[in-house]
Amino acid sequence: MLDSAIKVAFYFGYEDKLQERTCNFGFTEKPVNKALKAKSVFRGYNRCFVFQFSPILSFQSVASLLFLLFLLLRLLLHLPWISNHPHFSIELPFLWTEMAGSVIQQLLRRKLHSHSPNSYLMSSIVTKKDGAGSTGSSSLRALALFGAGVSGFLGFATTASADEAEHGLACPSYPWPHKGILSSYDHASIRRGHQVYTQVCASCHSMSLISYRDLVGVAYTEDEVKAMAAEIEVVDGPNDEGEMFTRPGKLSDRFPQPYANEAAARFANGGAYPPDLSLITKARHNGQNYVFALLTGYRDPPAGVSIREGLHYNPYFPGGAIAMPKMLNDGAVEYEDGTPATEAQMGKDVVSFLSWAAEPEMEERKLMGFKWIFVLSLALLQAAYYRRLRWSVLKSRKLVLDVVN
């Protein structure tokens, strides 16, 4: 009879020991299958049995073949006569990646999870070849690694090209002055940005969440905002006779809508619907940088790129073709403070204004956060002092043991 508790070590991986699992369980002496080779290794008082067998296809061989097959499919996809095919889909590589991952996952699951202890013992052991077999296994591993590397590179290239075509060119990061921890908005830039919005953007884009009173104390005085609101006419009512009437605007009114409804907006813009700009810097990924890059990123179409009539080439817009023409040109706006109205300056100012419109509470939020951090820091110091004072007697006491013979 063998020992009641035998330490069995399972070795997974290739020529080197990549993973080792040990377990203790009851074991009775039974005839060993001839397909298994058992050898005992004595390490001190532990008796360790390492079982090995040689299947027709080892796990590393199957994985290598899968990687090579996947690499072949990737190379076929990048051939011109396939990639330019009308039925070619960019989702195919990702689908095949998922299929290959599922196959490898099933292989791992079959090796690591079995229905019975004996089958687990039989199926949890990977071949460890010697001599010439080791060279073949190393070659297969090298091919697998090469296939995985090239496949990953091609997959990254495919993903990058697909992402650029779908989401537009990645916009650069600009040093906005209000992005610091304790930084505030440039209120002069907000005032200039509101002027750019009023004279350039408001003819197509609405800002339905902003009221005139929001500008008081931010970019204008109260009298300036009242005079600005009085320039518009607002439909109000009904009156005592049940009829609607128009009145001059007041501080509580919101910015006027350029179109009566979405259908009118699409009809006036060739089917394109100008989005509302109230939250545009939060509604787009990397919003501030994206809006600035979009406004200043109009270029001539490169060779080989055709843009249909009514659209304009902009690499930062998804698809590269946008219905909005270039609106910011040098000198398009005459600033009240005499700042040169260059394209970049107008883009920076209008983005500052849109950032404030999306987060008007940013300055107050940062100030409140700083106050809370300061107060909690003082409370932490007081708590540390109290803990030291309360527990110092118990933690620093000494016990003297007097041994009496």
CA dihedral 32, 37, 43, 44 (to 10 degrees): 30
Q: How far apart are alpha carbons 298 and 293 in whole angstroms?
A: 9
Query: Do 25 and 117 meet the contact criterion of CB atoms below 8 Å apart?
Result: yes
Length of the chain (residues): 405
Q: How far apart are alpha carbons 21 and 44 in whole angstroms?
A: 19
- Tokens coding 106: 């099933």
Q: How far apart are alpha carbons 64 and 147 in whole angstroms?
A: 8
Positive or negative torsion for Cα 297, 299, 304, 306: positive
Task: List Cα–Cα distances, 54 to 37, 157, 159, in angstroms.
Answer: 10, 39, 40
DSSP 178: T
Which amino acid belongs to residue 287? G
- Tokens coding 206: 């609405």
Collapse the DSSP code of 95 into the 3-class scheme (helix H, G, I; strand E, B; otherwise coil) and give the result: helix
HSE at residue 396, side-chain half, CA atoms within 13 A, is 6
Per-residue b/e over 317-356, b at no fewer than 16 CB within 10 Å? beebbbebeebbeeeebebeeeeebebebbbbbbbbbbbb
Binding site residue list for heme c: 201, 204-205, 324
Q: How far apart are alpha carbons 26 and 20 in whole angstroms?
A: 20
Binding site residue list: 201, 204-205, 324
Q: Which residue has the tokens 């009114």?
A: 253
- Tokens coding 166: 């779908």
Radius of gyration for the alpha carbons in the chain, expressed in angstroms and rounded: 36
